[in-house]
């Protein structure tokens, strides 16, 4: 594609992104401009298709919609604060076909906290939903949706100031007062103040555990496969806020990123962050299939069965480029059917592994790689995703 053709497309997209909806006039204006530039009908069609299939377009439209809802102060849109959407294109390793789509992650919690001197207890009732949706459902590489209602009892200990020093607390208040006056929290001044705040605030190590009875509904995108999964979840986690603490040094997963932070000048030394220790989750589900033709054909019935689940997540800071903070995210999930029938084992469906890792910037740019499969996926696959993340 020639350079002036790219300029025309970019100009159209920039002007187009200022609107909250797609209009025929905007599409017609683009076609008129391209025809005036002597572009063929095939080039015009490819240009229009390229814009419509671009996940950045939908990210921009959503942002405009949310901004307008905030301006209008309409309370009916407040629930969107709990919704996280990633617009992206999927591409499988085994196929050159790409599919426009999005991932969604919705979490709504009502929590009651009981504070003690050095620990905190919470009782939480929550509703969550997450999954991947492709515009072309046949091209969805991670065709798994999960919606669940749960109650969680969590216990947090530690994470409190180690010393009761009035001089330290006065200093922290002074820094906090300076931060309030800064409009750009990504500026060098703000970053320096946050670093000074962290150096003065010495917190003890923090540990937590949680028990969560839950009732979940799992399906694929078109709901041709569904199952109910009541069960129990146990969450465990730890954070070392002091980088000199031994617990921080045990965070072996963060050392490659500590090296990157040092190489890019983000950190003065190779320092592992104890605040990014991976979290782990254990679960036991009683799976009640409702629609599953694959299982029905293999086993001959849709009897309930027990399933073990293990999940671990890791997120850390990589570097700062201009005004953008870059983060690395990773998630691994294991589903193991307990005492699975021989037919399920022979079909390699009794054990399911899924791993995804992603780079994400504070502006929302997102690139990820996933391997393995989730429940209801027919086979293992390797999937590349590129898109934009927006937290409402």
pLDDT per position as a tens digit, 106-139: 888 888 888 776 778 889 998 999 888 877 776 6
Bridge partners, 83 (sequence order): 106
Reported in sequence order, the residue ranges of 220-261 that DSSP labels E, i.e. its strands, are 226-228, 231-239
Query: For the CA atoms of the chain, what is the radius of gyration?
Result: 25
CA dihedral 283, 288, 292, 295 (to 10 degrees): 80
Tell me what the mean pLDDT of segment 273-295 comes to.
93
Distance CA 326, CA 323 (A): 10
Distance CA 217, CA 111 (A): 23
DSSP string, 300-344: SS---EEEEEEEEEEEEEEEEETTEEEEEEEEEEEEEETT--HHH
Distance CA 237, CA 96 (A): 40
DSSP state of 67: H
Q: Say if CB 214 and CB 233 are below 8 A apart.
A: yes
Range with the poorest average pLDDT among 5-14, 158-167, 187-196, 260-269: 5-14
- Token pair belonging to 280: 């782990």
Q: Say if CB 31 and CB 8 are below 8 A apart.
A: no
Tell me what the mean pLDDT of segment 286-292 comes to.
92
Nearest alpha-carbon partner for 360 in 322, 324, 328: 328
Q: For residue 213, what pLDDT is reported? A: 95
**Banded model confidence at residue 373, pLDDT cuts 50, 70, 90:** confident
Q: Say if CB 386 and CB 89 are below 8 A apart.
A: yes
Give this prediction's pTM: 0.70
DSSP string, 250-275: T-GGGHHHHHHHHHTTSSSS----GG
Q: For residue 134, what pLDDT is reported? A: 79
**Banded model confidence at residue 103, pLDDT cuts 50, 70, 90:** confident
- Report pLDDT digits (tens) over 315-369: 999 988 877 889 999 999 999 999 999 999 999 999 999 999 999 888 778 788 8
Q: For residue 283, what pLDDT is reported? A: 96
Nearest alpha-carbon partner for 335 in 293, 371, 307: 307
Compute CA distances 344 → 157, 250, 300, 301, whole Å: 43, 39, 11, 12
Q: Say if CB 328 and CB 358 are below 8 A apart.
A: yes
Q: For residue 367, what pLDDT is reported? A: 86
**Cβ contacts of 204 within 8 Å, gap of 6 or more:** 118, 158, 159, 160, 161, 162, 241
Whether residue 169 has pLDDT greater than 70: no
Higher pLDDT, 124 or 162: 124
Q: Is the dihedral of CA 34, 38, 44, 46 positive or negative?
A: negative
Q: For residue 369, what pLDDT is reported? A: 87
**Banded model confidence at residue 63, pLDDT cuts 50, 70, 90:** low
């Amino acid at each position: 594609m020639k350079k002036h053709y790219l300029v025309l497309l970019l100009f159209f997209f920039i002007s187009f992104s200022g609107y909250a909806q797609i209009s025929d006039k905007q599409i017609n204006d683009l076609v008129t401009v391209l025809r005036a530039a002597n572009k063929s009908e095939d080039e015009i069609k490819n240009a229009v298709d390229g814009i419509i299939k671009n996940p950045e377009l939908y990210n921009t439209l959503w942002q405009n919609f949310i901004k307008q809802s905030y301006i209008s102060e309409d309370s009916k849109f407040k629930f969107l604060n709990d919704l996280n959407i990633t617009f992206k294109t999927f591409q499988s390793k085994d196929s050159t076909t790409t599919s426009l789509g999005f991932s969604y992650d919705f979490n709504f919690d009502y929590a009651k906290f009981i504070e003690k001197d050095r620990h905190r207890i919470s009782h939480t009732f929550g509703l969550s939903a997450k999954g991947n949706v492709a515009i072309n459902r046949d091209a969805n590489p991670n065709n798994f949706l999960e919606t669940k209602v749960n109650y969680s009892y969590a216990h947090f200990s530690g994470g409190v100031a180690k010393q009761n020093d009035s001089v330290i607390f006065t200093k922290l208040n002074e820094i906090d007062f300076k931060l309030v006056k800064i409009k750009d929290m990504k500026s060098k001044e703000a970053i320096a103040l946050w670093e000074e705040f962290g150096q003065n605030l010495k917190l003890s190590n923090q540990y937590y555990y949680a028990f969560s009875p839950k009732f979940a509904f799992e399906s694929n995108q078109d709901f041709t496969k569904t199952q109910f999964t009541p069960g129990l979840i146990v969450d465990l986690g730890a954070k070392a806020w002091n980088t000199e603490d031994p617990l921080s040094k045990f965070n072996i997963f963060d050392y490659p990123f500590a090296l990157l932070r040092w190489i890019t000048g983000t950190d003065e030394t190779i320092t592992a962050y104890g605040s990014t220790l991976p979290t782990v989750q254990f679960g036991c589900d009683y799976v009640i299939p409702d629609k599953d033709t694959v299982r029905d054909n293999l086993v001959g019935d849709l009897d309930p069965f027990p399933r073990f689940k293990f999940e671990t997540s890791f997120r850390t800071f990589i570097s700062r480029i201009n005004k953008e903070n870059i983060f690395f995210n990773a998630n691994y999930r294991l589903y193991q059917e307990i005492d699975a029938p021989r037919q399920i084992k022979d079909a390699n469906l009794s054990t399911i592994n899924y791993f995804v890792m992603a780079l994400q910037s504070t502006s929302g740019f997102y690139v990820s790689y996933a391997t393995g499969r989730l429940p209801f996926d027919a086979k293992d696959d390797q999937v590349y995703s590129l898109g934009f993340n927006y937290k409402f």
